[in-house]
A and B are shown apart, each in its own frame.
Chain A
Amino acid sequence: QSALTQPASVSGSPGQSITISCTGTGGDVGGYDYVSWYQQHPGKAPKLMIFEVSNRPSGVSNRFSGSKSVNTASLTISGLQAEDEADYFCSSYRNSDNPVVFGGGTKLTVL
């Protein structure tokens, strides 16, 4: 069982927007602005899409955005494209003894 809770799947049509949630506790998501999001295509390594809740690394499309409210972080993808179909994982800082925890992942299907 993963430390952070994500929906197993979400779907949307091309051009639409979708949001994936990531729920933790005040000891991780809610306590720090260190939430990250990763995209993973089948058979590939994860790719960092969002760090520090809402920051995009260089080269990541501005269609990807992140936010947080209390203990739940969210990833929003606008203007869905076929290439966005992938698994998405969130992660958060927890504490110095166990610094990194992940969500169980969400499969995004572009209809």
Chain B
Amino acid sequence: QVQLQESGPGLVKPSQTLSLTCTVSGGSISGGSYYWSWIRQPAGKGLEWIGRIYTSGSTNYNPSLRSRVTISVDPSKNQFSLKLTSVTAADTAVYYCAREDVKVVPCSFDSWGQGTLVTVSS
């Protein structure tokens, strides 16, 4: 059973860069046909897909965030990461990492991290 765990600063200053890491355990991040995504949820609101990276390293980003987002993978550490630049208070949210198993549950997220709250404030 794969497990995902987010980590990173809980407080980021406006205009700075938000950086989070998702550590995958119980399976290889490079094995299989998986997309690894970042999803966020402002308090009391809905989910917003941020972007994803495929096993091969190719990426897709939400068009509304594309200019500020970079997702990368480090297979040696079984981790993938999110960088979001020039943050504002509107970026305050719980950030989740999640897995899409393309062959079993295409276009769905069958494994999620517990989420980490990131607050943007000076």
Which residues of the partner chain B approach A105 to less than 8 Å between Cβ atoms?
Answer: 45-47
- Evaluate whether A101 and B60 lie within 8 angstroms (CB atoms) in the complex, with A34-B107, A45-B96, A48-B110 already known: no
Q: How far is the CB of A55 from chain B (nearest CB, A)?
A: 8
Interface segment out of the listed B12-20, B71-79, B112-120 = B112-120
On chain B, the number of residues with a Cβ less than 8 Å from chain A's Cβ atoms is 21
Q: Is the Cβ of B109 less than 8 Å from the Cβ of A46?
A: yes
Which residues of the partner chain A approach B108 to less than 8 Å between Cβ atoms?
Answer: 34, 36, 48, 51-52, 91
Q: Is the Cβ of B49 less than 8 Å from the Cβ of A103?
A: no
Which residues of the partner chain B approach A52 to less than 8 Å between Cβ atoms?
Answer: 105-108
Task: Count A-B contacts at CB 8 Å.
Answer: 70
0/1 string, B10-53, CB within 8 A of A gives 1: 00000000000000000000000000010000000111110010
Interface segment out of the listed A10-18, A72-80, A92-100 = A92-100
Q: List 13 A-B contacts (CB under 8 A).
A: A36-B105, A48-B109, A52-B106, A89-B46, A91-B47, A91-B108, A96-B60, A97-B63, A98-B63, A100-B52, A103-B46, A105-B45, A105-B46
Q: What is B's interface to A at a CB cutoff of 8 Å?
A: 37, 45-49, 52, 60, 62-63, 96, 105-110, 112-115
